[in-house]
Structure 1
Amino acid sequence: MREPLRSHEPAASYHELRAWQQAIRLTETLGPLTAALHRSERRALGDQLMRAATSVHANTAEGSGRAGRRDMLRFLTIAWSSLLEVESHLVEAASIPRCPRALVSDARAEARRAGILLAALRRSLST
């Protein structure tokens, strides 16, 4: 990955967006968590968790390719909603006795970081 941008520099590619980079880290963090789930939980909760996390970085990337701010903001709103879905699934994962608490805690921390960067990106486009 390239070096993250400072907030005042325009991104030449979505790969340079810190929000996208953090969303990728979130998805990578969820791999071990979903692998630790029991098979039935992995099929239901794990699949939903990974789909929602993938949607965060995919919509951030897709929005960055749109021509106007309004379109990009629409895709970032979808990414934000997907991030909220990830957080909700993590609450559910934390309630599963066999689910390692440290992995849930790590995933929650990555989700918080993703949320901070996504919110900052949305704010920067709204002004």
Structure 2
Amino acid sequence: MSLPTEPAAQIGFDDFLKVDIRVGTIVEAEPYPEARKPALKLVIDFGGTIGRKKSSAQITKHYRPEDLPGRQVLAVVNFPPRQIGKFMSEVLTLGVPDADGEVVLIGPSLKVPEGGRLF
């Protein structure tokens, strides 16, 4: 994963509002050995009307499946589902790169209710 060198083009606030980023709690995590790049399969509970959604995440450098249940993360919940090998990923789990370009998950610093929208 390469680090961006230039900021993205400016967008309007209405464009930002189109991206629905919510907090959810990881309830299941397991290895995804069939993935082309090392990844984990996650089930994330967003509560309320969104419910539980699946996500494939390339987070194996810093996270073990057994340590993830109960951890809150942010994810984009309104992208169309994406086929990742034999797995259908329903949300995009968000992270930022560390100094080596490996994913570090993004989540709230305090426990919050599932389904809360980023603003």
TM-score over 0.5 for the alignment?
no
Please tell me the TM-score bracket, short chain as reference.
Answer: under 0.3
Identify, as 1 or 2, the structure richer in helix: 1
Identify, as 1 or 2, the structure richer in strand: 2
Larger Rg: 1
The TM-score, its normalising length taken from structure 1, stands at: 0.25
The TM-score, its normalising length taken from structure 2, stands at: 0.26
